[in-house]
Amino acid sequence: MSQAKKKEKKIKCVVWDLDHTLWNGVLLEDRNVQLREGLLEIIKELDNRGILQSIASKNEHNTTMAKLEEFGIAEYFLYPHINWNSKSSSIKNIVTSLNIGMDTIAFVDDQPFEREEVSFELPDVFCWDAADVHAMLDLPEMTPTFITEDSKKRRHMYMSDIERQKVEEEFTGPQEEFLASLEMVLKISKVGSDDLQRAEELTVRTNQLNTTGYTYSYEELDALRQSDQHKLMIVELQDKYGEYGKIGLVLIECGEQDWKIKLLLMSCRVMSRGVGSILMNHILQLAHQHNVRLLAEFVKTDRNRMMYVSYKFAGFKEVEENGDHVLFEADLSRVQPFPDYVKVHVLD
Amino acid sequence: MEINAKIRKFLSRFFKKHEIADTDDIFALGFVNSLFAMQLVMFLEKEFGIAVETKDLDFNNFRTIESMIQFVENKQSA
């Protein structure tokens, strides 16, 4: 099994400049600017590939948003930053709002000064000259391995997240009540053949909430889902605002006496939803029923401390440590019930 | 504010059960998710000026208000 296959850098969000980049000319000088040729197609294609888009533009906010509405493209941009601040500070805010890695951002601008400012402040951002915009779609960084149902819906899912966040910010009660108000339904099922592309995509895209970072190819996952010695499960979440899509994946190697969790990951969009703990509890219950010892592999990175804490707080203890590699063992005497703020369906 | 009151104030943002006793197991209340766990660790680090190391991440240290107080005191006097 080729587990430690190197992850390819894939862009998750393109941040656009506007004047001389998205449209010809400068909006504040010419109210009748026109979109550059082919730009609309590029925006639509990126959206179709599941690549998010935002804006970092030095402009007057209301006039600019009105123009984007007029072109009928405002909805394509999440968290547009139209202000007079530096582009790097706008990009930092966008990255925080979307909760994705800085190294998954591409920034397109016609001005060398702006690209250099961003490169200097944020060296992980991939900067691209607006003059070469037509070559952008052919870059491997802009080409996801697969385009899944989840990638096509990605922007809409982020838009429902924005709505949820607004409600969450305005909610004054404890977080537990807020979670209950979402009416979440979590579905845990075996990975089917239809899920394979999404499963591979999850292993490649997920960094923060990922216990090992192992990636598996489509073919490997297909073999694993049919293997008697493995359990491969995919997790789906929805709430009253809509679908989050398929957001979690677990791979367990099932031996006679020992089960070992090789991979447990979740999209960072569900970070505060309690999904990781529910999933760990589900595995603990399963292991308890099958009367096996439950182990879990862990590979420490600079980003996944949260998953380490989750394992520890779910009662796992280190039994082996070798540099960044840790082997945990679960304490099966103490299995948490599922929290009552979410309905859990386990489909076997 | 004493340690107890500070921890209570922090926990009240998460739990709807208003009165958590010093010995209540917060893990048994069914609301421990990754984000909460991380926020709790970071809250204790920042509020009480301690460093929570990997070996400290034993849930027994965080299970009850009482155990958290003891953990913080041990760390501060170390």
Whether the pTM exceeds 0.80: the reply is no
Provide the mean pLDDT of chain B. 85
Distance from CA of B63 to the nearest CA of A (A): 9
**Higher per-residue pLDDT: A191 or A10:** A191
pLDDT of residue B18: 63
Distance from CA of B61 to the nearest CA of A (A): 10
CB contact under 8 A, A313 and B37: yes
Please write down the HEC assignment for all residues of A283-311: HHHHHHHHCCEEEEEEECCCCCHHHHHHH
Residue spans of beta strands (DSSP E) within A119-171: 126-129
Q: Tell me, what amino acid is at A340? A: D
Work out whether strand A342-347 and strand A184-190 pair parallel, antiparallel, or are unpaired: parallel
Q: Is the pLDDT of residue A8 over 90?
A: no
Q: Is the pLDDT of residue A3 over 50?
A: no
Q: Is the pLDDT of residue A199 over 60?
A: yes
Work out whether strand A52-58 and strand A230-239 pair parallel, antiparallel, or are unpaired: unpaired
Q: Taking the C-alpha atoms of A45, A42, A243 and A266 in order, what is their torsion angle to the nearest 10 degrees?
A: 90
What angle, rounded to 10 degrees, do the helices at B34-48 and B3-12 form?
150
pLDDT digits (tens, 9 = 90+) for A90-135: 999 999 999 899 999 999 999 999 999 999 999 999 999 999 999 9
CATH class of residue range A13-142: alpha beta
Work out whether strand A52-58 and strand A81-83 pair parallel, antiparallel, or are unpaired: parallel
Provide the mean pLDDT of chain A. 91
- Total Cβ atoms within 10 A of residue A44: 12
Please compute Rg for chain A using Cα positions: 22
SS3 at position A263: strand
Half-sphere exposure in the Cβ direction for B78 (13 Å, CA): 11
DSSP state of A173: S
A321 touches chain B (CB under 8 A): no
Strand partners, A281: none
Check if the beta carbon of residue B3 is closer than 8 Å to that of residue B10.
Answer: no
Given CATH 3.30.479.10, say whether it is the number of domain A149-347: no
Least confident of A78-87, A163-172, A195-204, A337-346: A163-172
Least confident of A286-300, A332-346, B59-73: A332-346
Minimal Cβ distance to B31: which of A306, A309, A339: A339
Which value does ipTM take for this structure?
0.79
Share of chain B above pLDDT 90, in %: 36
Going from N- to C-terminal start, the domains of chain A cover 13-142, 149-347
Rounded Cα–Cα distance for residues A257 and A169 (Å): 47
CA distances from A136 to A21, A73, A107, A344 (A): 13, 19, 11, 42
- Residue A169 makes CB contacts below 8 A (sequence gap 6+) with none
The candidate with the shortest Cα–Cα distance to A218, out of A5, A63, A67, is: A5
The stretch A276-295 carries a mean pLDDT of: 92
Distance from CA of B70 to the nearest CA of A (A): 18
Element containing residue A313 per DSSP (H, E) = helix A305-313
Structure token pair of residue A54: 């935002």
Check if the beta carbon of residue A257 is closer than 8 Å to that of residue A240.
Answer: no
Rounded Cα–Cα distance for residues A271 and A99 (Å): 10
Element containing residue A116 per DSSP (H, E) = helix A112-121
Structure token pair of residue B78: 């170390």
Minimal Cβ distance to A277: which of B15, B16, B32: B32
CB contact under 8 A, B35 and A272: yes
Rounded Cα–Cα distance for residues A256 and A290 (Å): 10
What chain B holds in terms of domains, given with CATH numbers, is 3-77 (1.10.1200.10)
Rounded Cα–Cα distance for residues A135 and A49 (Å): 16
Minimal Cβ distance to B30: which of A272, A314, A337: A337
Q: Which chain B residues touch A344 with a CB distance below 8 Å?
A: none
**Higher per-residue pLDDT: A243 or A253:** A253
- Total Cβ atoms within 10 A of residue B22: 13
Rounded Cα–Cα distance for residues A225 and A146 (Å): 19
CB contact under 8 A, B32 and A313: yes
Check if the beta carbon of residue A174 is closer than 8 Å to that of residue B16.
Answer: yes
CB contact under 8 A, B30 and A175: no
Rounded Cα–Cα distance for residues A199 and A229 (Å): 18
